[in-house]
Amino acid sequence: MKAIRIYEFGGPDVLRYEDIPEPQPGPGEILIRVIAAGVNPIDWKIRSGYMPGLPLPMIMGLDVTGIVEAVGQGETSFQPGDEIFAKVSIGQGGYAEYTVTSSTQAAKKPRSIGFVESAAIPTAGLAAWQSLFDIAGLESGQSVLIHGAAGGVGTFAVQFAKWKGAYVIGTASSKNAEFLKSIGSDEVIDYRNQRFEEIVSNLDVVLDTIGGDTFEKSWKVLKPGGFLVSTVASIPEGMPQKYGVRAKTLMTQADGRELAQIAAIIDEQKIKPIVTTVLPLADAKKAHEMSESRHTRGKIVLRVAEDPR
């Protein structure tokens, strides 16, 4: 099968498009014929050596959609022919014609959208869902500031928060303002020309997907007891106590039950994945270069095979 692997950590040139043997499903696993693979910043961070010590060579990618080709011993939740989407574990590989994953990391894909759109969901959708609901406990009527609202995580977070009934404020550059309003932002702050910390205050939740200064200035815009969730920054000791708030760094869990919940909301037409770039699997290098620019809107997806329908 064709796959994108790395033999060493480094720049986009270390990505190799090559033929390798198909994997086989073990007990409790499913073998997926991949139709599309989502691209996430964690992919180029891993490629760059952000997690040294990972075994090489390694197939890149974590997010897939496709069709169950075979199931391992004892696996009963899926059957060959099921159309599914999954967040696979590091090294199992999404950028490939076939991959295996534990069935607990997969769910039936949304029926109302295609494979390419579904491949945009797993990591970014779960990150947004777990940050807002599992960690911060966002509720209807509360206010949330989403930093990086136009990105992969942000576009899901804006829509989930609006769906929940929250008041949603997003930060982005001005080119994304109208777009963010169209997907549910009540307000958009242009981070290049405005200081969010001078505009908003007393918020229930901040979701930070940017880090650095953005993270540091977010403490004081929360109300007492508010929640700061960051997908990138670790929480300095003593800071939540200093500001009288709660805080946590997200570690996204590959939760198939939550993927099923997200699929249901998509099929109710409440939210939709935002895919702005689709490239063939062989162009993974270009996909990484685009993602590394840090200014893509929504998601980049690699098409691995033609849609079978």
Min dist. Cβ of residue 39 to ligand NAP (A): 9
- Helix, strand, coil percentages (3-state) for the chain, rounded to 5, are 30, 30, 40
Interface with ligand NAP (CB under 6 A), residue from 66, 94, 152, 184:
152
Interface with ligand NAP (CB under 6 A), residue from 252, 256, 263, 303:
252
> Residue 299 to residues 110, 262, 272: CA-CA distances in angstroms?
17, 16, 12
User: Of 79 and 173, which has the nearer Cβ to ligand NAP?
Assistant: 173
User: Of 20 and 90, which has the nearer Cβ to ligand NAP?
Assistant: 90
User: Of 141 and 199, which has the nearer Cβ to ligand NAP?
Assistant: 199
User: Helix 256-267 to helix 122-129 angle, to the nearest 10 degrees?
Assistant: 90
Strand, helix or coil for residue 117: helix
**179 to 198: interface string for ligand NAP, x by CB under 6 A:** ------------x-------
**CB-based contact 82:252 (threshold 8 Å):** no
**261 to 300: interface string for ligand NAP, x by CB under 6 A:** ------------------------------x--xxxx---
**CB-based contact 71:30 (threshold 8 Å):** yes
Is 143 an interacting residue with respect to ligand NAP (CB under 6 A)? no
Cis bond upstream, residue 57 (ω within 30): yes
Min dist. Cβ of residue 293 to ligand NAP (A): 8
> Residue 280 to residues 18, 97, 188, 225, 289: CA-CA distances in angstroms?
14, 12, 33, 46, 14
124-143 per-residue burial string, b: 16 or more CB within 10 A, e: under 16: bbbbbbbbbbbbbebeeebb
Interface with ligand NAP (CB under 6 A), residue from 61, 93, 148, 256:
148
Interface with ligand NAP (CB under 6 A), residue from 71, 120, 172, 287:
172
Interface with ligand NAP (CB under 6 A), residue from 116, 124, 158, 259:
124
Alpha carbons within 13 angstroms on the beta-carbon side of residue 283 total 14
User: Of 82 and 159, which has the nearer Cβ to ligand NAP?
Assistant: 159
Is 218 an interacting residue with respect to ligand NAP (CB under 6 A)? no
Interface with ligand NAP (CB under 6 A), residue from 1, 90, 200, 232:
232
Min dist. Cβ of residue 81 to ligand NAP (A): 31
Min dist. Cβ of residue 224 to ligand NAP (A): 25
Is 38 an interacting residue with respect to ligand NAP (CB under 6 A)? no
Q: Could you give the CA distance from residue 242 to residue 16 in angstroms, rounded to a whole number?
A: 48
User: Rounded to the nearest 10 degrees, how much is the dihedral formed by the CA atoms of 151, 62, 263, 134?
Assistant: -70
Is 169 an interacting residue with respect to ligand NAP (CB under 6 A)? no
> Residue 149 to residues 68, 91, 124, 177, 206: CA-CA distances in angstroms?
33, 29, 12, 10, 11
Is 157 an interacting residue with respect to ligand NAP (CB under 6 A)? no
Is 105 an interacting residue with respect to ligand NAP (CB under 6 A)? no
Residue 117 burial (CB count, 10 A): 23
Q: Which residues bind ligand NAP (CB under 6 A)?
A: 40-42, 45, 123-124, 127, 147-148, 150-154, 171-173, 176, 191, 209-210, 214, 231-232, 250-252, 291, 294-297
